Amino acid sequence: MSPTSQSRLIALEPRLRHLLPADLYANYWISPSPETLMHVFEHLRTLRRILSDYVPRQVSESLPHPGQARYEWQEGTLMFTDLAGFTPLMEASAQHGRAGAVALLEVLNRYFAAMIEIISKSGGNLLEFTGDAMLALFPAGPRLNDTRQAVRAGLRMQRAMSQFANIQVLGDSFKLGMRIGLHSGKFLTADIGTPRRMENVLLGSTVRQTKKAEGAGEVGRVNLTFRAFQRVQDNFEFDDGEPGHMLVVDNLSERQLGEYDIAMGSRRMANPVLFDRSVEGLAQEIEGLVNLIEPLASYLPAPVLNLAVEGTAHRRIEPKFPELTVMFVNLLGLPEAADSAQPGEEERIVSTFSRAFALINAAIESRGGVLKHVTYHLSGSDMLIYFGTPNAHTDDPARAASAALAIKDMIAGFEPTMVNNGMIHLSCQVGISCGSVFAAEIGEPRGRREFNILGDTVNTAARLMGKADHNQILINDSVYQEIKDVFEVEPMGVMTLKGKTSVGSIYALTKAVDHES
């Protein structure tokens, strides 16, 4: 091996530490032969494909510089979907352990694959998975037919749900349905964070209005806000929906609806062709792949990235039903401020959001948790956080409580941000729950997918967050029982949470117990 090749391989080593499985990394360091380097090249080539499927199309097609915030205004029609009937399916599957997890994942991925294919063929782009829900964008084009494309996609998706009307899973029958909500408008999209951890976020009320349309809709129907309805009122027939919403009437023939509006280009990227298999040639190709992978890798939490790296050879992360502590943190003030921002003020909003995200992620990582991503509920842009997988600790509820208090104090100390001649005071709402969840890599098995957690524990944490006041942390009884000896709480009585028949006592987490007093 030439001194130049050896120097290049040594210089690459720090960048490969988190991108190679443990055994391959050891061989790379101990014996960087052409055969070993070929294995490294093949692994990185596959990992690049996997990570590109983990992020939205605009990230994979226009790689960011990790740590540098970027933003742009986009316009189009957003689609939110929500799966009805998933909770009983998950609860029944959980009784069968690993076999149940595998069976549940098969159903979910069959559902997601069918829906994502329709979205893509209809001109849409899946932005993210939100539990068992999806957020997709139909971008505005020169012909301004994005709303029509989204409606037609929604109708195709509802028709495709007929294959899930009576599914058999481990001897039991289940029925799945779907709600779809559409809203058209402008929103601010931004890439925020640090070189170690980036995130793509959507800011503005357009996202919240889309989520509201889904929640106000009906299973089996496509529901539009009045603004979206006005764009396509002459193209479809409608029924009255909830106030401010209209339900599309599906009276189109198969021929009229067709199978697609516009076939989007495949997300599959061309494999780099390897001509030079010498040590020098392989080292150069490996360096080129690392340059492409590092920006993508920054969008995954470190523990999830490790799962993807170690599972690259099998291209699979095993599904399971772990016991987790789940937290939602909602930042109030900044996401909605985007709508009122004057030209040039967007950078200030994005910069503040980026700083808050980085500090919150640090508080979570330092306590062994995972900030999964920024997701979207009726309350706005919030962060899904969990403790207990892939690394579990005996005190995960206490770690989550400690992180929540640190986040509350940190957000309370943020300087106000000036937007449109007004001061935006940042605050937060936090909800924490613990219990069993379904943890798996969901989506298209060889396409757009994410490692995610789903289930009633996740829903409960989100609803507790929604009930919290500004700078308040609400926990349920399951969390309280785990942390009552080390944290002080204020009993809040019994609260009614949407979709739950029985709710135990709710508490407001106030501070850690001072053992010295």
The string of pLDDT tens digits covering residues 190-214 is: 999 999 999 999 998 999 999 999 9
* Cβ pair 419, 188 in contact under 8 A: no
* Cβ pair 392, 228 in contact under 8 A: no
Query: Comparing 268-272, 333-337, 452-456, which segment has the lowest mean pLDDT?
Result: 268-272
For residue 312, pLDDT beyond 50: yes
Q: In this structure, what are the phi and psi dihedrals at residue 52, rounded to the nearest 5 degrees?
A: -65, -30
For residue 471, pLDDT beyond 50: yes
Nearest in space to 285 (alpha carbons), one of 275, 296, 295 = 275
Which is more confidently placed, 26 or 317? 26
- Spell out the residues 6+ positions from residue 136 whose beta carbon is closer than 8 angstroms to its own: 78, 79, 81, 119, 124, 125, 126, 127, 150, 153
User: What domains are defined for the chain?
Assistant: 3-58+269-299 (no CATH), 65-257 (3.30.70.1230), 323-512 (3.30.70.1230)
* Per-residue model confidence (pLDDT) at position 127: 93
The per-residue pLDDT for range 43-86, each reduced to its tens digit, is 999 999 999 999 998 899 998 888 888 999 999 999 999 999 99
* Per-residue model confidence (pLDDT) at position 262: 64
Region 106-131: mean pLDDT is 93
Which is more confidently placed, 336 or 112? 112
b/e burial code for range 181-198 (CB count within 10 A of at least 16 → b): bbbbbebbbbbbbbeebb
b/e burial code for range 439-449 (CB count within 10 A of at least 16 → b): bbbbbbbebbb
The alpha carbon of residue 424 and the mean position of all alpha carbons in its chain are separated, in whole angstroms, by 26
Helix (H), strand (E) at residue 401: helix 396-412
The per-residue pLDDT for range 338-390, each reduced to its tens digit, is 888 888 899 999 999 999 999 999 999 999 999 999 987 766 679 999 999 99
User: From CA 119, how far away is CA 260, in angstroms rounded?
Assistant: 9
Tokens 């040590």 sit at which residue? 279
For residue 71, list its beta bridge partners. Answer: 190
Helix (H), strand (E) at residue 111: helix 97-121
Residue 20's pLDDT band (boundaries 50, 70, 90)?
Answer: very high
The per-residue pLDDT for range 281-298, each reduced to its tens digit, is 899 999 999 999 999 999
What angle, 0 to 180 degrees and rounded to 10, lies between the N-to-C axes of helices 279-297 and 3-16? 20
For residue 266, pLDDT beyond 50: no
Using alpha carbons, list the distances in angstroms from residue 407 to 284, 401, 411: 43, 10, 6
* Cβ pair 332, 429 in contact under 8 A: yes
Length of the chain: 517
Determine how many CB atoms are found less than 10 A away from the CB of residue 458: 25
* Per-residue model confidence (pLDDT) at position 278: 84
* Cβ pair 221, 247 in contact under 8 A: yes
Determine how many CB atoms are found less than 10 A away from the CB of residue 490: 10
Nearest in space to 15 (alpha carbons), one of 410, 258, 294, 399 = 294
The alpha carbon of residue 326 and the mean position of all alpha carbons in its chain are separated, in whole angstroms, by 14
User: From CA 48, how far away is CA 292, in angstroms rounded?
Assistant: 7
The per-residue pLDDT for range 477-513, each reduced to its tens digit, is 999 999 999 999 999 998 777 665 456 799 999 999 8
3-state DSSP assignment of residue 355: helix
User: From CA 263, how far away is CA 120, in angstroms rounded?
Assistant: 7
Determine how many CB atoms are found less than 10 A away from the CB of residue 166: 10
User: From CA 228, how far away is CA 57, in angstroms rounded?
Assistant: 24
For residue 439, pLDDT beyond 90: yes
* Per-residue model confidence (pLDDT) at position 499: 62
User: From CA 507, how far away is CA 449, in angstroms rounded?
Assistant: 36
* Per-residue model confidence (pLDDT) at position 500: 58
